[in-house]
Structure 1
């Protein structure tokens, strides 16, 4: 079971339970914007009780238009570093108390259903998927779901049904068309 923390003014965050085996990720965060200076204080506040004082955050600048060097949070300053070698879909938070916390960062424009799936997957105890793998899996799922919806829409607007199967002329059983068969 995962711990999900979300209120209108708090960070949208899902974390693995404290008593489970470690995985590649410690949970997921779904910020409301790409403004790191505005989003980071609520994330740090939400993690304060679990991780202690967060002192550093490491991100890949790919998804953050501006990466500030320092962000003021309640009672202290968080130093922010960036590395292009880091997975662009992951954020690393460091604290004196716990050490390190790796979070999947879900893009703010993600649809709520997809974000819920990603948050649950990232908070799975002992998870072996990286942040990038989770995001590409979800992207594939999203494409397949959109294709299925579009097929359903085409089906509904195209008459909604195929021709019924033909009956065998002698027995009355349904005939199954064989590949390459052109009978009408």
Structure 2
């Protein structure tokens, strides 16, 4: 028999009403996508942020029964959370990528969401959420922020045309001088 602590059995109840989540979901509902969308919480407090997200997912995919979260990035790690009259189980794992949240719904359906850090610039967050909710997205959650910021970073670093040419496969160096083309005789 496994010993449990009182803290692990305690259900946390949010004292404030659920917030409206900043959530973007893949529009077709396809189950063949890498990610189902993205969520941009306003803080790293799971008690304040998760109830609104859970209620939004409930409306689209059915009741959420469990959430799998990354161990890092949250202020606390409650194991049970009361949401709209039911108890939701929360699991925090070091093996879960930091930018990924998995919601398990009633019929064992998964909803995999990119979690955009609360302090992310709005333009970056918006671009990341759009990419995560794109049906053809092939970028994993932990790489999306880098994917949407990398081109801007490369442009800032490589602002000289020669540098851009070199990174695109061209070559730097001297170009051989062209010989003048002789004019046709008899002109």
TM-score (norm 2): 0.69
Give the corresponding residue for 2:27: 17
| 4+ residue runs over 2 A deviation | 18-21, 138-145
Distance in 1, Cα, partners of 2:113 & 2:30: 16
Equivalent of residue 75 in structure 2, options 65, 72, 78: 65
TM-score (norm 1): 0.70
Distance in 2, Cα, partners of 1:19 & 1:94: 15
How do 1:124-135 and structure 2 match up within 5 A? Answer: 124-135=134-145
- Partner of 2:67, secondary structure, is strand
- Partner of 1:63, secondary structure, is coil
Equivalent of residue 28 in structure 1, options 35, 38, 49: 38
Distance in 2, Cα, partners of 1:142 & 1:79: 40
How do 1:43-122 and structure 2 match up within 5 A? Answer: 43-97=53-107, 99-122=109-132
Worse-superposed segment, 73-82 or 30-39: 73-82
Give yes or no for contact 2:35–2:113 (8 Å, CA) kept in 1. Answer: yes
1:11-35, CA deviations, whole angstroms, 9 ceiling, x for partnerless residues? 0000002354621100000000000
- Partner of 1:77, secondary structure, is strand
- Partner of 1:140, secondary structure, is helix
Shift of 1:72: 1.1
* Equivalent pairs, count: 143
Shift of 1:132: 1.0
Give the corresponding residue for 1:41: 51
